Amino acid sequence: GQQVQQSPASLVLQEGENAELQCNFSTSLNSMQWFYQRPGGSLVSLFYNPSGTKHSGRLTSTTVIKERRSSLHISSSQTTDSGTYLCALERGNNRIFFGDGTQLVVKP
């Protein structure tokens, strides 16, 4: 079954609005990583966050292991934030599972 579930599947925002993306996992984990996939396909690592909260500019990631969830918060969204956001779960055998992603569209 699906080990990593992301929500929402898609999200449309007006520029300046905030976004909250969720990742829930059904198994134990060693690490959680968030990626941004550009419309052209390449992936950019946003956060490596096995637990706790991390900040990077307008982005904040919070992972709560006990609740088996991780979130990505985007504040003051911009049109250049449009793309797909993926969370990835690493388990003990170095195998990394991806969620289906959240497709974000930010309109001007």
Partner 1 sequence: GPKVLQIPSHQIIDMGQMVTLNCDPVSNHLYFYWYKQILGQQMEFLVNFYNGKVMEKSKLFKDQFSVERPDGSYFTLKIQPTALEDSAVYFCASSGGHQNTLYFGAGTRLSVL
Q: Which residues bind partner 1 (CB under 8 A)?
A: 30-31, 33, 35, 41-43, 45, 48, 50, 86, 88, 90, 93-101
Nearer to partner 1, 16 or 52 (CB): 52
Nearer to partner 1, 83 or 101 (CB): 101
State the minimum distance, in angstroms, from the CB of residue 52 to partner 1. Answer: 14
Q: Which of 38, 44, 54, 35 is nearest to 96 (CA)?
A: 35
Nearer to partner 1, 41 or 57 (CB): 41
Count CB atoms within 10 A of the CB of residue 18: 11
State the minimum distance, in angstroms, from the CB of residue 13 to partner 1. Answer: 21
One-character DSSP codes across 35-89: EEE-TTS-EEEEEE-SSEEEEETTEEEEEETTTTEEEEEE-S--GGG-EEEEEEE
62 contact partners, CB below 8 Å, separation of at least 6:
49, 52, 53, 54, 70, 71, 73
State the minimum distance, in angstroms, from the CB of residue 18 to partner 1. Answer: 26
State the minimum distance, in angstroms, from the CB of residue 108 to partner 1. Answer: 24
Nearer to partner 1, 81 or 101 (CB): 101
